[in-house]
């Protein structure tokens, strides 16, 4: 079973629960409709990886603020990359079919280390730099659905197990990537750095 590190100790999420279309400008950049209700999908434990791999020329990165769940509540925070095989996803969406082949493949949930979260949720923001250039940035205020709303909605139909992860959605700026690219994801509370993770694409 694949794991993560939380405060230097290993944890093994049963699943990664992802919130889709949670930032208006990201919805607009992909020409999607703003959803009338929360878009929720899962990545299995087998999708989890600490390595950022190159898959296909149409595979996109999506930087996200991620929450670790313990006892049904947010315990920790980390940075993650939701990888998407865009051509496959567009094909499946056009036919009204599920997204697993495009979203749940092995290695598609790239997660860094997690640390305890004691900062106010409304102070959170994230940045993603690629090869030294700012690619994505997001704040709590820009989320359509806030973290506590996510938990309430998910609990309405699905149980959390300790160690499960919520990937809270991605802001504008998603794109493809190539071997050798350097990714640095950071999460802040206002201007205080909470966690930083880096990957080089292999």
Are β-strands 124-130 and 182-189 bridged in parallel, bridged antiparallel, or unpaired?
antiparallel
pLDDT of residue 25: 74
pLDDT of residue 28: 74
Among 5, 32, 9, smallest CA distance to 20 is for 32
Strand partners, 41: 18
Phi/psi at 175 (nearest 5 deg)? -165, 175
Query: Cα separation of 118 and 75, whole Å?
Result: 8
Query: Cα separation of 158 and 78, whole Å?
Result: 22
Three-state DSSP string of the chain: CCCEEECCEEECCCEEEEEECCEHHHHHHCCCCCCCCCEEEEEEHHHEECCCCCCCCCEEECEEEEEEEECCEEEEEEEEEECEEHHHHHHHHHCCCCCHHHHCCCCCEEEEEEEECCCCHHHEEEEEEECCEEEEEEEHHHECCCHHHHHHHHHCCCCCCCCCEEECCCCCCCEECCCCCEEEEEEEECCEEEEEEEEECC
User: Can you give the pTM of this predicted structure?
Assistant: 0.95
Domain ranges of the chain: 4-200
**Is residue 16 very low, low, confident or very high in pLDDT (cuts 50, 70, 90)?**
very high
pLDDT in tens, 40-59: 999 999 999 999 999 999 99
4-200 placed in CATH 3.40.50.300: no
Question: Which position has the higher pLDDT, 26 or 23?
Answer: 23
pLDDT in tens, 86-129: 999 999 988 999 989 999 999 999 999 999 999 999 999 999 99
Q: Which residues contact 70 (CB under 8 A, 6 or more apart)?
A: 76, 162, 163
């Amino acid at each position: 079973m694949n794991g993560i590190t939380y405060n230097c100790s290993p944890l093994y999420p049963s699943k990664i629960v992802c919130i889709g279309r949670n930032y208006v400008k990201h919805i607009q950049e992909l020409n999607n409709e703003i959803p009338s209700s929360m878009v929720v999908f899962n990545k299995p434990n087998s999708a989890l990886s600490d390595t950022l791999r190159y898959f296909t020329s149409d595979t996109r990165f999506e930087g996200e603020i991620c929450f670790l769940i313990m006892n049904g509540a947010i315990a920790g925070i980390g940075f993650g990359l939701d990888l998407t095989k865009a051509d496959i996803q567009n094909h499946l969406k056009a036919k009204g079919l599920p997204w697993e082949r495009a979203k749940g493949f092995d290695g598609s949930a790239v997660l860094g280390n997690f640390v305890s979260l004691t900062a106010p949720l409304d102070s959170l923001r994230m940045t993603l730099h690629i090869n030294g250039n700012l690619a994505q940035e997001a704040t709590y205020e820009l989320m359509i659905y806030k973290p506590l709303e996510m938990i309430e909605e998910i609990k309405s139909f699905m149980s959390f197990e300790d160690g499960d992860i919520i990937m809270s959605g991605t802001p504008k700026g998603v794109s493809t990537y190539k071997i050798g690219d350097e990714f640095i994801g950071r999460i802040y509370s206002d201007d205080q750095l909470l966690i930083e993770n880096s990957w080089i694409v292999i």
